[in-house]
Amino acid sequence: MTDPVVVTAGEMDTDELLETLKSEQRVVVRTEFLGSEHEVTLRWDGDTFYCDTPTRLHKHDDESEMRACLENQGYGR
Encode the chain in three state secondary structure. CCCCEEEECCCCCHHHHHHHHHCCCCEEEEEEECCEEEEEEEEECCCCEEEECCCCEEEECCHHHHHHHHHHHCCCC
Residue-number span of the structural domain to which 54 is assigned: 5-73
Q: What are the tens digits of pLDDT across the range 19-29?
A: 999 998 999 99
Question: Into how many domains does the chain fold?
Answer: 1
Q: What are the tens digits of pLDDT across the range 6-64?
A: 999 999 999 999 999 999 899 999 998 788 899 999 999 999 999 999 889 999 999 99
